[in-house]
Amino acid sequence: MSGWNDHDACVTAWMKAAARLDPGQRSQFFEQALGVLWKRAHRTLGDVTLMAIVGRVLHDAAERFPLFGALTVEASGFKCEALRDRAPDADPRELADGMQFVLVEYLTVLGSLTADVMTPALHSEISKLTLAGADRAEQTDARTSSAEGRKER
């Protein structure tokens, strides 16, 4: 079984990439990491279970890093708008430490609850994430959503 150290190593590598970004970009990169992890875990766990897991992670994060009390969760995933708005003025150390805590804790809880069945896939998702790649994915999602909206009319 993998453990906290494996998750920490994965997130530390992600944090090295995030450290090169300004706080606004770092917040966006964090939001994208949460999004890919949610999407991958959702395939296996579904809305209710994943919302309960994330609720626990966010509660623990807010206690340690008050800035992260701005994060919420809905059936569609993490809601990061309030954190994104606060990130440019936030203490950079609190922002970085909070991001690392949320990602490691999320991976740890998912790993514990699934006997690490999902861990390799989750680590793979976060390790291949790049800001540029995620921007392209968001543009594709926006075009798809826009096209679906036109179909419904």
Question: What is the reported pLDDT for 48?
Answer: 94
Q: How far is CA 86 from CA 20, 61, 80, 95, in A?
A: 19, 16, 10, 10
pLDDT band at 23 (very low <50, low <70, confident <90, very high): confident
Tokens of 51: 């919302």
Q: How far is CA 98 from CA 49, 70, 76, 112, 143, in A?
A: 23, 12, 22, 21, 32
In this predicted model, what pLDDT tens digit does every residue of 78-109 receive, in sequence order? Answer: 999 999 999 889 999 999 999 999 999 999 99
Over residues 2-21, the mean pLDDT reads: 85
Distance CA 57, CA 2 (A): 19
Domain-wise residue ranges, the chain:
4-121
In this predicted model, what pLDDT tens digit does every residue of 35-67 receive, in sequence order? Answer: 999 999 999 999 999 999 999 999 999 999 999
Tokens of 44: 């296996």
Q: Please tell me the least confidently modeled range out of 35-44, 129-138, 144-153.
A: 144-153
CB half-sphere exposure, 153, CA atoms < 13 A: 6
**Chain centroid, CA 132 distance in Å:** 16
